[in-house]
Amino acid sequence: MAKVQEELGKMFKTFSSNFDDEQLDKFIEDSERIMRRPAELLLKQAGLDAATSTRFALNLVNTLKRRAEKEKWINVETAVLDAQDSGLPASSFSHVTINFAMHVIPDPGAVLQEAMRVLQPGGTLAFTVWHRDNLGWVPDMASCFEALPFEAPMLSPVPMAPNGKTEFIDPDLVPEQLRRCGFEDVEVQTAEHIVRMESAADYLRNFAMMRDWMMRAYWSEDSMEKAKGMGPVMDTGSGDVPEAEQMMLPVATG
């Protein structure tokens, strides 16, 4: 589990850092297709149409900043902060939202405590995480790895909480985590999110980060070398295939 978390952390720190304008546009287009609905559900659950958020990697913050400038967004401030200890003023925000991070942040309990600290009395915390039973991109990735003509291991099942904090991806356990930190009026909504992949190439482009994560965490150097000689791993076949993901949207007041 430690190797899985380590490799994912490395990838977050470099992902999108060298995108040119064309790559950034494509990244935004693909991100909109995959993440727009979860983000909309998150804001709706929180009762918001705008949000304040923190990112833990400079490259992701810079990507957000570039998009804000490109699309001429207003009232957008960017900063690299630690969600476990943000340094933001106490009782300064009406809402805190966290989109797909509590299952990867090392100490999500500390995040809850920090959210309670920065929220105004009666303020709202809302976040999204993958559901404990989510499969999403995993079955197709596993079948592709199995078809390769060399050893291509992949963890089964893939952990939906790489940080090992499975209580934050279980709808039966999340409410207690929030109440322990003083939150009230806790609600947990589960939702299915379906994204249609137009072809194998489309799938690969959208889930290449997941492919690379599995390769770096579990493949030997020999397997990595063999993959280099094959061109884009898994870039074969075609089809119009839906990827179904399960997620949770907890919301609570402080």
- What's the pLDDT tens digit per position in 79-105? 788 999 999 999 999 999 898 899 999
163 exposed, middle or buried (CB, 10 Å; 0-12, 13-18, 19+)?
buried
Helix axes 221-228, 200-218, angle to 10 degrees: 150
Residue 52's pLDDT is: 46
**Percent of the chain scored above 70 by pLDDT?**
80
Model pLDDT, residue 192: 87
Place of tokens 């400038």: 69
Give the tens place of pLDDT for each residue, 157-211: 888 999 999 999 999 999 999 999 999 999 999 988 888 888 888 888 888 888 8
| Residue linked to tokens 């995108």 | 19
Q: What is the mean pLDDT of residues 109-132?
A: 94
Calculate Rg over the CA atoms of the chain. 19
| In the block, residue with structure tokens 């490395």 | 10
User: Taking all residues of the chain, what is their mean pLDDT, rounded to a whole number?
Assistant: 81
Instruction: Write the DSSP assignment of 131-161 as a string of letters.
Output: -TT--TTHHHHHHHHHHSSS-----SSPPS-
Q: Are 124 and 252 in contact (CB under 8 A)?
A: yes
Asked if residue 120 has pLDDT above 90, the reply is: yes
Domains in the chain, CATH or no CATH each: 2-135+159-196+245-253 (3.40.50.150)
pLDDT at position 5 is: 65
